[in-house]
Amino acid sequence: MKKLVLILVSFISLFAFSSEVELFGNLFKVMFKKDNIKVYTKNYQTLGVGLKVVNSCKEADIVLGNVKCANKPRFVLDYYSFKHNKEAIGGFYWRKGRPQLRLRKDNLIKYKLFISKEFEGYLN
Tell me the per-residue pLDDT of 50-80, one tens digit each, with 9 for 90 and over. 788 888 889 999 898 888 888 899 999 889 9
Residue 74 β-bridge partners: 63, 88
Inform me whether the pLDDT recorded for 113 exceeds 70. Answer: yes
Query: E-strand spans in the chain?
Result: 37-41, 51-54, 62-64, 74-76, 88-95, 98-103
- In angstroms, how far is the first alpha carbon of the chain from the final one? 45
- Please report which confidence band the pLDDT of residue 15 belongs to, taking 50, 70 and 90 as the band edges: very low
Share in percent of the chain as helix, strand, coil (round to 5): 40, 25, 35
Q: Tell me the pLDDT band of 103, cut-offs 50, 70 and 90.
A: very high
What would the mean pLDDT of 32-54 be, rounded to a whole number? 80
Residue 17 has pLDDT above 50, yes or no: no
More confident residue, 2 or 79: 79
Residue 65: other Cβ atoms inside 10 A: 16
Question: So what's the pLDDT on residue 90?
Answer: 92
Give the phi and the psi of residue 101 in degrees, each rounded to 5.
-120, 130
pLDDT band with cut points at 50, 70 and 90 for residue 18: very low
| Beta-bridge partner residues of 123 | 103
**Residue-level pLDDT at 47:** 65
